[in-house]
A and B are shown apart, each in its own frame.
Chain A
Amino acid sequence: MMTTFKSFKFLIALAITLTAIPFNSLAKESNSEAEEQFNPTDMIMHHIGDAHGWHFLGSGDNSYTLPLPVILYTEDGVVSFMSSEFHHDIEGEVVVEKDGKRFVNYHETIYQLNAGEEKLSFGEDHYPNNATAPTDLSITKNVAAMFLTVIVMLIFFFSLARHHKKSDKAPKGLNNALEALVLFVRDDIAIPNIGKKKYMKFMPFLLTVFFFIWITNLLGLLPGAANVTGNISVTVALGLFTLILILINGNKDYWAHIFWMPGVPVPVKILLAPIELIGLFIKPIALMIRLFANITAGHIIILSLLGLIFILENVGVAGISVPFALFIMVLELLVAFLQAFIFTMLSALFIGVAVEEHEHH
């Protein structure tokens, strides 16, 4: 305890000392013309947003980027090429020609230039006015990261399943940890919320969603990783699964409670019906926004803290930013599990309410 406190004091002292050294003047003189003004919003949006290539290091032509396939569903069929053909350009300047069609990448949206156009031009509203965006089914950075999670999950759980096919004894090592988590989902999420009679039907969904979110969250914390669960499209898809399960499995009692609440006077029934109906959709929407906002917020905080170093153009700020970012990072490890737990738990709760057998009085 004492040592941590001492080292923390040391870090602060170091930070103050470093701040005093005029690094900033040095930096400004050497490359005041070459460097563009640092824009923290662009940096953060670039990190938490999706992209057509998986960017690791560097900028411009010197960046190290894993090229990913771009798959476009145009009016004349599917067109695909590698993202590297844009040469890291996201300003819509590099034109890729495929099957007689021209494509540009403008801020990670792929536009198809109208026939005959050579260059992207913009209208009054700063939107491209000579191009249309085709349906983009590219394997983007997030999709690739999603595949990575899928591979990790398949390896983990096929290994656990292999063990279980061989013996009924408790497994060892990683398999044991995974089994403990499977049991956690079953005993602390599914059974208490859905009930012993019906939980088995929803176990595949709950387990898959729980581990998908958790592993994706953890992988998302790695440097250079994608922000999959912090993307609204991903959480919308996950939330819709919960909604569809509720809609399919809701029993007569559940619908009666929504449209014609028993045990209350008729005017209240009429008043409650629209509220309950909206509630039906609010529940999964809350799930979507909660997961998206929590994960994205965590990434934004870490990036903002680190961005401070570049905004203030002072390396001394790192003495404060880095410990804080590290603290948030550790917190994010907890949040990664917590959000997976909450999403699964609330899904189980909503499903449980929908399938609950009511005793008729």
Chain B
Amino acid sequence: MDLIKPDFGLFVWQTVVTLILIFLLAKFAWRPILDSIKKREDSINDALDAAEKARLEMQNLKANNEKLLKEAREERDKMLKEAHSIKERMINEASTEAELKASKMISAAQEAIAQEKQAALNEIKQQVAELSIEIAEKVVKKELNSQENHMQLVDNMLADVKLN
């Protein structure tokens, strides 16, 4: 029965010792230990959060970079396309202009040729007329003795002239 009969002295000592132990350890061990562990856990959590944030930022940055790159590429393509079309247009314009100029020049040349031809014809006509007058003078001077001859001559000459 001694075994299960509580002993007052031991009970008192156990109570006192436990109370003192709880007080001492709580003040000088448990609080500092738990606080420091909590602080460490918080700092680890913060570090993990920061790492996660940095990772996300990196991802964002990368995505941004990719977007920028894509934009730049598009811009380049657009510029190239534009340049190409400008080139085409310029070539087209240049060729039409050249054609226009060429045709203008041709028409001017044709006109000039026509004018020159007209002028030459006119001169020839004048010279022919002068020559005819000279010939006529000579013929007139020689054939002026008869009316008949005169008339005949004129007729012949006219006929000749027409032939020419």
Contact = CB atoms under 8 A, between A and B. Distances in A.
Contacts of A205: 22
Interface stretch (A95-103, A145-153, A260-268): A145-153
Interface string A229-247: 0011110111011000000
Interface in A149-202: 150, 153-154, 157-158, 160-161, 164-165, 168-170, 179, 182-183, 186, 200
A89 interface: no
B39 interface: yes
Interface string B115-126: 000000000000
A280 interface: no
Interface stretch (B23-31, B54-62, B69-77, B146-154): B23-31
Contact of A135 (B8, B21, B35): B8
Interface stretch (A31-39, A44-52, A332-340, A347-355): A44-52
A168 B36 contact: yes
A116 B138 CA distance: 211
Contacts of A50: 7, 10
Contacts of A105: none
Contact of A212 (B2, B15, B21, B31): B21
A237 B14 contact: yes
A356 interface: no
A217 interface: no
Interface residues of A, number: 50
A136 B24 CA distance: 26
- Give the interface SS of chain B, mostly helix, strand, loop or mixed: helix
A334 B6 CA distance: 26
Given A208-B26, A212-B21, A203 B34 contact: yes
Contacts of A314: none
A112 interface: no
Contact of B9 (A140, A154, A158): A140
- Give the interface SS of chain A, mostly helix, strand, loop or mixed: helix
A143 B13 contact: yes
Contacts of B30: 157, 182, 203-204, 207-208
Contacts of B37: 164, 179, 182-183, 186
B18 A157 contact: no
Nearest to A73: B9
A140 B9 CA distance: 9
A143 B3 contact: no
B33 A49 contact: no
Contacts of B40: 168-170
A304 interface: no
A142 B29 contact: no
Contacts of B107: none
Given A146-B13, A168-B40, A182-B33, A233 B6 contact: yes
19 contacts: A135-B9, A136-B7, A137-B12, A154-B21, A157-B25, A157-B29, A157-B33, A158-B29, A160-B33, A203-B30, A204-B22, A208-B22, A208-B25, A209-B18, A231-B10, A233-B8, A237-B14, A240-B15, A241-B18
Interface of B: 2-15, 17-18, 20-22, 24-26, 28-37, 39-40, 43
Given A140-B9, A157-B25, 7 more contacts: A135-B8, A143-B17, A146-B13, A150-B17, A168-B36, A200-B34, A232-B4
